[in-house]
Structure 1
Amino acid sequence: MHLPKYALAAYDAEYPPHDQLWALCTDAEDLFADPPPPERARHELLGCAPEGQLGAALTRARAEGSAPLGLLVLEILDKSGNGMDEWRLEDVRLLGDRPCARDLSLRDITVEARETDGQRAYPARPPLSPGYRLSGGRHEPYGRCRDLAHVSEPYPEPQEPPLRLLGCAPRGALRAALDAGDEEFGHAQVLRLDAFGRTLQYAVEGELTAWIPSAHGRGLVDLTLEPWSQRPPRAARAVWDLWWDGVPAEPNLWAQCDTASRDFWLGTALTSHDSRRPDAAPGATHHLDGRHITDEPGFYCALGETVNGPGGYFGRSLDALDDCLYGGFGARRPFTLVWHDAHVARTCLGVTPQAHGRPPTFEELLGHLAEMGVQVTLA
């Protein structure tokens, strides 16, 4: 008999649901799906006088067909030429340019980019406005443009198949609904379990739409669920397998994961963090095993284990690390961090070529730790 890997509960059940389960399920199909690539659309910057990096990238795009620019900030100007508000395009790539029909001394520039989440749909400028002031992520001047036009809308997201929960043993409200012949079962959440039946992590949420008898055993059913929330990424599979026996008992299990799985590991570690555990006293010394810190998530995986033992959590980004340093996550600043085999991270961290939003370099990370009251000794 296979131990259940997943549990089903009402979407509004407490987390973890304990005795509020609808079913225990042997396995799942079509559960994992990586999020689609960021939506990108084409825009035209009309009537541009490019400067700085925008001008340099435009020269490169003419020679090579396209060129990356990174973050582009459009500052909306009022009729007096003063800045009113900002609108942003991320991961910008220049596709080409042509003379502006209204002023041959200016250029119309075509770009492909991703619009920043949470901002208005279009950077409308007021009447008599001269247009937009352009800049980069650090406010370096890129020139001006008179107007902006959408050329194409973002590509539609691909359709994923429904999720199937296999070999489910119904109970509670679901058992009653099946016995009564109901056709609507409600909104449910799926949880990943460990080998001891404990809730390991939330997986997905959606609407139960159908059931059939299961080939996994007498009295069991296979359930169909249409997800409403984002599915766990494919990287989750490796992490959940490594956590099958509960919180890891040996260090560095995360080291066998790729970068995406290491990042997901950090979320699993955060979910499993015991906030009742007292912090180590300020001024303590912690030893960081740096042999496997080949990427940014690897640093946080290793740091979490340094502070809280195997499977421990102590941040997953610079902002989250800062929060942890104020207490409640196993250690409180100031403290000393002895970084063993630091040459691995010095070689690997922050070398990914990105125009914007790259991981911190080794030196930048050391500087941030020092600013936050962590004395680092390289060993």
Structure 2
Amino acid sequence: MQSKDHAVWGRSFPVKYLLVREDEEDEEGGDQLWARCAAVEGLFVDPVPPPREVLTLRGCAPAGWLRDAVNRPETAAGLLGDMLVEVSDDTQPVGWWELVDAVVLAQRPCRTDPSLVDVVMGAGVKNLAGGIRTPPPSPRFELFTRTNATAGHCRAVDGLFAARQEPPTIPMELIGCEPTEPLLSVLRRPRRWERAGAQLWTLDRTGRRMACHDVGLGIDGARPSVLGGALIDITLTDGGDNRPSSATRTVWEVWYQGAPTSPNQWAPYTSQGRAEWLTLTRQATRARRPDRTGGVHHLDGRYVTDVPGLHCALGEALAGPGGYFGWGWDAFRDCLCGGFGVAPPFTLIWHDAGIARQALADVVYDPGERLSYFEEVVRALERSGVTVVLA
């Protein structure tokens, strides 16, 4: 389904959103329009952080940032930010947790192995996947930073498997909706669809699909729209858990005007805003494209002061303003394998490379390599056949 085919409806205000669901009668899994909408309240939300808890990493061999925090607890290194805990059995990972805004509170030698430490941490805890309530018989606990850099491993994590309440769902209001027959059928029998899901497509001013979010189809109410006419307003009980933060609204306002046409529009934003910029570039590049090789590409390094900025600048160097070439380490490595419009071999001239080298000197993806994130990216490019010129 092409978004532009449904972006016009003959009213004085534009269609900004489409409610879309997979067509169950289409053998090829096509999309089916359920509603055009003029506005959405509750698209941008700041989720309530999880309650703070105290955890103990037993028999821990810390690495990277965690090692620094353990060795220097009296400094700001004790502030770790978000971390991931991966729990594995004898064969594979079985569960993942996020430790939100983790802080090292104390550390002491492990009683059973003096070469290891017990680390006491404060953090909010989110169960990301797996749903396991007890550890497997022979568990392994691997620790990672939010950028997937290893932070070590431990034998156990006291408090990790505690029972926790699921966070409450946050509703969403669809304003000024023109429903199609499938949605009208749901509105006649809303309970039937309490567990079903759909997608909310956000359109830019040209009608191009700009972003896509999963939403629930549990409907808490439908009523004549505040915009009048035959339109209706609908309350969804669950607007989804991957909505952008309210702090990134200005980034969306830029993209609503259309795909970026000039470079460095991402540069004025904070790391959070730049990360959201990358999210929109990724969604704008939904399908893999034929690759071109060769040629010389210029990377403007003047504003590469963080990891999101590096990937914004790299995407623009290789694919033009608003271009995508990965949003983080793993995605960047995937792009080097081809399918995103450009593939090695080619030449990349990185102007003002010293800014990124200095800004990312303490950002480490793999502590075992003892390279900064900047150095890791350069090495990955070169190993893939890219000639990198640091200017």
TM-score by length of 1: 0.72
Are residues 1:369 and 2:381 paired? yes
CA shift in 2, pair 1:98/1:272, >3 Å: closer
Deviations 1:99-141 (A, max 9, x none): 9999xxx997644465885576544667xxxx99999999999
Q: Which residue of 2 aligns with 1:174?
A: 183
Are residues 1:196 and 2:198 paired? no
Are residues 1:295 and 2:302 paired? no
Q: Which residue of 2 aligns with 1:10?
A: 21
Partner of 2:256, secondary structure, is coil
Q: Equivalents in 1 of 2:119, 2:288: separation in Å?
A: 56
CA shift in 2, pair 1:8/1:350, >3 Å: farther
CA shift in 2, pair 1:115/1:10, >3 Å: closer
Partner of 1:319, secondary structure, is helix
Are residues 1:216 and 2:244 paired? no
Deviations 1:34-87 (A, max 9, x none): 4555786434467x79999999966865x79x95689899999xxxxxx99999
Alignment counterpart, residue 237 of structure 2, candidates 226, 251, 265: 226
CA shift in 2, pair 1:112/1:311, >3 Å: same
Query: Where does the alignment leave 5 or more consecutive residues of structure 1 unmatched?
Result: 77-82
Q: Which residue of 1 aligns with 2:4?
A: none
How many Å apart are 1:343 and its aligned residue?
A: 3.0
CA shift in 2, pair 1:220/1:303, >3 Å: same
Are residues 1:270 and 2:282 paired? yes
Q: Equivalents in 1 of 2:109, 2:286: separation in Å?
A: 62
- Contact 1:259–1:298 under 8 Å retained in 2: yes
CA shift in 2, pair 1:49/1:211, >3 Å: closer
How many Å apart are 1:255 and its aligned residue?
A: 2.0
Per mean C-alpha deviation after superposition, the further-off stretch among 106-115 and 339-348 is 106-115
TM-score by length of 2: 0.70
Per mean C-alpha deviation after superposition, the further-off stretch among 319-328 and 154-163 is 154-163
- Contact 2:260–2:322 under 8 Å retained in 1: yes
- Contact 1:41–1:155 under 8 Å retained in 2: no
Q: Equivalents in 2 of 1:174, 1:274: separation in Å?
A: 26
Q: Which residue of 1 aligns with 2:331?
A: 320
How many Å apart are 1:169 and its aligned residue?
A: 1.8
Root-mean-square deviation (Å): 5.0
Q: Equivalents in 1 of 2:143, 2:237: separation in Å?
A: 43
- Contact 1:291–1:340 under 8 Å retained in 2: yes
Query: Where does the alignment leave 5 or more consecutive residues of structure 2 unmatched?
Result: 1-11
- Contact 1:164–1:222 under 8 Å retained in 2: yes
- Contact 2:43–2:239 under 8 Å retained in 1: no
- Contact 2:72–2:78 under 8 Å retained in 1: yes
How many Å apart are 1:334 and its aligned residue?
A: 1.9
CA shift in 2, pair 1:359/1:149, >3 Å: same
Q: Which residue of 2 aligns with 1:22?
A: 34
Higher-Rg member (1/2): 1
Q: Write the mapping of 1:135-150 to structure 2, written as runs, cut at 5 A.
A: 149-150=158-159
- Contact 1:289–1:341 under 8 Å retained in 2: yes
- Contact 1:167–1:221 under 8 Å retained in 2: yes
- Contact 1:41–1:151 under 8 Å retained in 2: no
Per mean C-alpha deviation after superposition, the further-off stretch among 320-329 and 231-240 is 231-240
How many Å apart are 1:360 and its aligned residue?
A: 4.4
Deviations 1:239-262 (A, max 9, x none): 332222332222222223322222
Q: Equivalents in 2 of 1:42, 1:189: separation in Å?
A: 37
- Contact 1:39–1:155 under 8 Å retained in 2: no
- Tell me the matched-pair count: 360
- Equivalent position amino acid for 1:326 in 2: C
CA shift in 2, pair 1:139/1:221, >3 Å: closer
Q: Equivalents in 2 of 1:292, 1:34: separation in Å?
A: 27
Alignment counterpart, residue 105 of structure 2, candidates 91, 95, 114: 95
How many Å apart are 1:202 and its aligned residue?
A: 0.8
How many Å apart are 1:362 and its aligned residue?
A: 2.7
